[in-house]
A and B are shown apart, each in its own frame.
Chain A
Amino acid sequence: MLDSAYIVGAAETPYTRHPEPGVSTSGLLVQAAREAVATAGLRWSDVDGLGVSSFTLGPDHAVDLAWRAGLGPLSWLMEDTNGGASALNMLQHAELAIRSGQASTIVLVSGDRMDAAAFRMLVEHYNRATEEHLAPLPITGPNALFALLTQRQMTALGLSRRDYGHIITAQREWAGLNPGAVYRAPLSLEEYLDAPLVAPPLGRYDCVPPVSGADAIVLTAGPATAGIGGSGRAVRVLAVETTIGIDDQDADGLTTGLVQAAPRAWERSGLGASDMDVLSVYDDYPAMALAQLIDLGAIAAEDAQRDLAERIGTRRLPVNTAGGQLSAGQAGAAAGMHGVVETYRQLAGIAGERQVADARFGVVTGYGMVLYRYGACANVAVLEGVR
């Protein structure tokens, strides 16, 4: 068993609010996967493992995508349906496949062509509980559920809408430095507060813009094999941990599975939240970004109001440095992979204008799969940039 697996390449297709008619889910997935392999300095024929996550790939599955993309023979294949947790779920398996020698070059790719019809289909038929107990209310999509959850968090932590605004405006500032983000224009706290309410206390800017796009990473057994353009620069996977179903959907939803997964990841990596140079948390709603920062140990619950203003709002704590889903866009199942790609870019030193100086350690979280009232899945990866 090898000690480590390495991320040696990554790519993200352009995100678009309204996809052109010719754009397909499978086309986006293959575009991202091929770009990721190219950035790693590898050949398409080197790929012997494929992991796929998509809400809209059907009727095809991973094997169909591999065939249509001209891949094979493969010694490792997986498909993960767990939305915002799918990227790190796949990484948890892929890391072990590389270390055990089951595969030597694995591409993990996530994405969706998420037009209005696909989005409506997704949110109305998300799962059986949604079909039977939420869609008939009638609600479409999770805004109402997370509005109720945000109210609970505001009460628990003594927060106001203005406090959450620091997450939104800071991520918009980061997005201004990311040519791939769909919303890049600066957003003031006043503009955030004045925006129309979608489901009080949630306003327009508390909700992610659905986009079409795909994200991919490439894993190998060692940085020397490739790295960025053969430079040998890569990102080592130090730990990946997952907790599914921390409770029975009978709690307040303010504590995620990270409260169990993160301590395991810190123990395995020998690091802690304060060692992280960049952080990427799953920001489907600002309340969930905050909940995950608390569960990681990056912010203390009792200091939440102060830290939102003084550490997040000022960008002193580099969180979601590509703009996150809230400004870059939520490309369906790629939403979880977006943070992995950005953290790879930061730790590889190729994040352009938004590069965090001397970034060596990074943490990425995944969260999602609303069963009834809130997400059931959470996972975390600790990564290190190496030469």
Chain B
Amino acid sequence: MSGPAFFQRCTSCSAVSFPPRLACRACGGAAFEQIEAGPGVVEEVTELPGGLRIASVRARGVLVVCSTPSAVEAGASVALVDSPPGPGDSPAAAAVASAPDTAPTASMTAQAVHLPGSARAEPAALFTTTAHIENEGTP
């Protein structure tokens, strides 16, 4: 079962980023918190040889690149998840697959799309200090 995808939010100016950054372009701050990406809207979809569908999805104003196990169309509302969605993640997927002309709607449970590298992680300190570093020099 997949978990929700997380974005990064600057604690100083609330700018939202994905992929996560080391410092905020908007304000220069370097303190961040994680927030759920929330639902997204598909903007474009393409399909690679072998059938993998890749979509650009806008969520919280950020445009991210996701993969989707079954057909979605531009304008569809989707749920962003942190690992390849399995059967339990996407109740609408089967319905959509069996009725290709039916676009997912907000009233249906949104189809899950995969946003890699978006799992909630322990916040990492930006700067770490090491007690002692042996200076071995570089050749």
Binding site for B on A (CB under 8 A): 129, 132-139, 143-145, 147-148, 151-152, 198-202, 248, 250, 372-373
Q: Is the CB of A199 within 8 A of B65?
A: no
CB distance from A161 to the nearest CB of B (A): 13
**Chain A CB within 8 A of B56 CB:** yes
Name, among A132, A133, A373, the residue most crowded by chain B CB atoms within 10 Å (CB to CB): A133
Tally B residues with Cβ within 8 Å of A: 26
20 A-B Cβ contacts within 8 A? A132-B116, A132-B117, A133-B19, A133-B117, A133-B118, A135-B116, A136-B116, A137-B52, A137-B65, A138-B52, A139-B52, A144-B54, A147-B46, A148-B46, A148-B55, A200-B47, A201-B46, A248-B17, A248-B25, A373-B63
Is B44 part of the binding interface, using a Cβ–Cβ cutoff of 8 Å?
yes
- Looking at chain A's contact residues, is the secondary structure mostly helix, strand, loop, or mixed? mixed
B67 within 8 A of A: yes
Q: How far is the CB of A287 from chain B (nearest CB, A)?
A: 12
Q: Is B124 an interface residue (CB 8 A)?
A: no
On whether the beta carbons of A373 and B65 are closer than 8 Å, the reply is yes
Q: Which residues of B contact A200 (CB under 8 A)?
A: 46-47
Q: Is A129 within 8 A of B25, CB to CB?
A: no
Min CB distance, A308 to chain B, in Å? 21
Q: Give Cα A200–Cα B47 distance, bound, in whole angstroms.
A: 6
Is the pair B117, A136 in contact by a Cβ cutoff of 8 Å? yes
A contact residues around B63 at 8 Å (CB): 250, 373
Q: Which of B43, B55, B116, B118 has the most chain A CB within a 10 Å cutoff?
A: B116
Is B46 within 8 A of A199, CB to CB? Answer: yes
**Within the complex, which residue of A134, A151, A250 is in contact with B44, where a contact is CB–CB below 8 Å?**
A151
Residues of A within 8 A of B17 (CB): 248
